[in-house]
Every structure is written in structure tokens, then in C-alpha cells.
Amino acid sequence: MRKRARVIYNPTSGREILKQKMIGILNVFEKAGYETSAFATTPEKDSAKNEATRAALDGFELIVAAGGDGTINEVVNGIAPLEKRPKMAIIPAGTTNDYARALHIPREDPIEAAKIVLKNQTINMDIGKANDKYFINIAAGGLLTELTYDVPSDLKTIFGYLAYLVKGAELLPRIKPVQMHLQYDGGEFKGKASMFFLALTNSVGGFEQIVPDASLDDGKFTMIIVKTSNLAEILHLISKVLNGGRHVNDSRIIYKKTSKVIAQPVNKKDKMQINIDGEYGGDAPMTFIDLKQHIEMFANTDAIPSLAISDAPSEEIQQAEEKFVEIVKEIPDGDSK
């Protein structure tokens, strides 16, 4: 019996480019040996998630998530809880496309992205679980992450998860430390921090330097705890990120590998919001588990180095980096040590 593939696509992503090229996309998967059909997501809540679950339970061997990182997140949430999970492929059509960047999938042309399936190369990807939700790239908590909800969505789209600070720098003075308690493999942190951050890939908001040594399938998050909330120090840390990932050895940072994290505020009356893949994901306490090699993904494995170092940053990200450097240069030397 011929294998079946279901393309779940966001018809509004990328200026509707997916809708325009869907026939060509379907033809690629047909050429790869799949009887292929498509489903256009709707504004209804969990549209992509529900269709992914339905298709998986119906026995589809491959589910293709076509759209931005949000669409991919939804599809993963639809199949991750299942005992029998189909393979996945992704066709990026957002702006940042962190997941496609990490897997070295073409981000400019959906048909070229679909053709990755013809190489027949896959990787068993780690997936994060945050209580009862799943994530593909990042989870974070603390006031620094909460500021993202105050930044206009178009800025977040253009500049990514952290690069939004270029235009939203006026929000930084509002950063205050949170008394948080984090338990992780072999240790714990209990004290003031502006944020904690868990990463599954090396691409965050288009930046590869934030988690320079991320692995895609080792069963461990890369955990970063930012202990400072001082504006000048945070900008200085960002400059170190942009300058070759030198933040990983900074005393104001805790940088660890861990398969599990339990996060909660020290004072149970305090509220600590959790950001999952760039969106509000609930409040702590929350338990994060790295599900090792949980979903088999088509990827351009020939291009993925051992440390998953991605390709050159886009023009928008390069402009963001230059702006960050300008901001840091304006800080007096005595404030940025």
C-alpha cells in the first residue's frame, strides 16, 4: 500500500506564498513516493494541532508542517503525545524560521524546502515538554521574557525572540530580578535572576551564538540563567553573545546542560510567566523534560555540523547586531564590566 503524507499549511504565511505554490509542493512529495493531500489551517483554536492528531491516528506516515514556527509547534503538539508518531517534514514560510535554520532547510523557496524529502535524510529530534505542552525550540521564564508580550507583534516577527530589543530598548529599564528556584540535573539555583532560558536548538530569533554548542538529539536542554537585571550589564552580555558567544563563561550567567528542569518562584505568591516558543505558555511552577529523539524529522543532515552551527545570519539579523553594538558603545566603560 502506498504511503500517505498530509501537508498542514497556514494559508496566510509568507504573503500566501504556500497557497500559491501548493501544487508544486504536493508534486515533490508525490515524487518521493507519498500519496499527498493538503489541509489549510483555519483561525479556529488548535486547527493545525487537531488535524495533525487526526492524520496521525488515521495512519499517515508523514506529516508536513508548512508555515512559521508557530505552525510547526502546533503540529508537534498534535503528534508528540501519541505512542505511534509519524515522520515530520517542515516547509518554512515565516520570517525568523528558527527551526528550519537549525535543520538547514531552505527558507526562501517552499518548493526547495519540500525537496529535502528527496534526500531521504532524517534526524530523531529532541522535543521539549512543559507540563502538558510541547515545544520545539525554547522555553523561558522571568521578567525579561515577559517584556516580549509588550512588544508589537510585527517587531517580534521582524527581529525574532531576543532581537526585538533593538527597537524595544525602552522596555529594558523595567527589568527587575525575580526570586526563582530552579532544580536541574546535578544542581539547583535559588536566588534573583532576570530570566532563565531552555534551548533545544542553536537558533534563537535568528541568532546562532546564544547557544553555540546546542545538540539536536542528545536528550539535554541548554539552560541559561541570567543572574543580573542591570541594564548596562544585560546590554554588555548581549554584546558578548554577538561577539562569538563569549557569554557562556561570564560569571553573570549559569550555562548548563540538563535533561529536566523544575521552575518555580521562591515566594509562591509571586507570579512567573513562562514563554514557550515565543508565546505565553502558562505560569510556574512548571516542569520541563527533554524528550530524547522523540520525533523523526526530515533534515538536510549533510549540512548540519556536529554542533549544529547554522549558516550566515540574515540581513535583518545583521542589522540588529550592528544596532546592539552601537547601543553598548554608548554605555560608559565603568557600567559594562
Question: For strand 133-135 and strand 138-141, is the pairing parallel, antiparallel, or unpaired?
Answer: unpaired
The answer to whether the beta carbons of residues 137 and 202 sit under 8 Å apart is: no
Q: Which residues are identified as catalytic?
A: 279
Percent of the chain with pLDDT over 90: 55
In the predicted model, is pLDDT for residue 86 greater than 90? yes
Residue 260 is predicted with a pLDDT of 98
The answer to whether the beta carbons of residues 191 and 297 sit under 8 Å apart is: no
Q: In the chain, what are the domains?
A: 3-120 (3.40.50.10330), 135-293+307-335 (2.60.200.40)
Counting beta carbons within 10 angstroms of the beta carbon of residue 154, is it exposed (0 to 12), middle (13 to 18) or buried (19 or more)?
exposed
Residue 314 is predicted with a pLDDT of 47
Residue 150 is predicted with a pLDDT of 53
Residue 90 is predicted with a pLDDT of 97
Which has more confidence, 321 or 216? 216
Q: What is the spatial distance between Cα 291 and Cα 110, in angstroms, rounded to a whole number?
A: 29
Which residues have C-beta within 8 Å of that of residue 159, sequence separation ≥ 6? 165, 166, 167, 205, 316, 317, 320
Residue 207 is predicted with a pLDDT of 60
Q: In this structure, which amino acid lies at residue 130?
A: A
* Closest by CA position to 308, among listed 89, 94, 98: 98
Which has more confidence, 19 or 249? 19
In the predicted model, is pLDDT for residue 202 greater than 90? no
Q: What is the spatial distance between Cα 281 and Cα 77, in angstroms, rounded to a whole number?
A: 13
